[in-house]
Each structure stands twice: as structure tokens, then as C-alpha cells.
Amino acid sequence: MNLEQLYQGPLVVDIAIGFITLETLLLWAFHTWTGRGLALADCVLTILSGVFLMLALRCALTPGGWPGMALFLIAAGIAHGADLRIRWRNKA
């Protein structure tokens, strides 16, 4: 598999989701062990909306994946809206 094939297929999205998962685990572990940094509860909706967008992209790169793409785009929008609502409420 060459780089062009990698970037035109769903594998690149799987790799990105793997990195997002690793980043999330490291953020959680750092906060748990040190008490510093971001608590997972403070960033889980942001992470979820990003993962849902990645999954929508994965579906777009997969033949016949448009129903999943629509579902993940809706889920990303809901997670993003919930994140904004919480942030807005915390500022008031």
C-alpha cells in the first residue's frame, strides 16, 4: 500500500482514531495521577464530537457508507451542541 492509497481509504481514519484514543487515555492518566491538566469530564464531549466526525469521514471513504456518515454527522452535531451548552452555562 502506497501513501496515496492510505490517504484515500478508511485506514487513515482508523489511525487517527487510534491516536485520539491514545491521547484521551494519556490525558485521563495524567490527570488521575497528578491532579493537574484537563479532567476527562471537561473534554469528553469535544473528543466525542471529533471522533464522530472521523467516523463520518471513514463512512464517506467506504462504498455505501452514506447512512453511517449521516448518523455520525448528527451525533457529532449533538455532542458539539452539548459541549457548547455546558461551556456557555459555566461562563454565566
pLDDT tens-place string over residues 16-74: 999 999 999 999 999 999 999 989 989 999 999 999 999 999 999 988 889 999 999 99
Residue 32 lies in a domain: no
The stretch 2-13 carries a mean pLDDT of: 85
Per-residue confidence (pLDDT) for residue 33, from 0 to 100: 96
Domain range for 65 is 3-26+39-91
Q: Is the pTM of this model over 0.85?
A: yes
The grid coordinates listed for 15 are 489511525
Residue 15: which of 70, 61, 76, 74 has the closest Cα?
A: 61
The grid coordinates listed for 27 are 490525558
CB distance 47 to 24 below 8 Å = yes
Domain count, the chain: 1
Q: How does residue 92 score in pLDDT terms, banded at 50, 70 and 90?
A: low
Residue 34 lies in a domain: no
Q: How does residue 91 score in pLDDT terms, banded at 50, 70 and 90?
A: confident
| C-alpha 15: how far from chain center | 12
Residue 33 lies in a domain: no
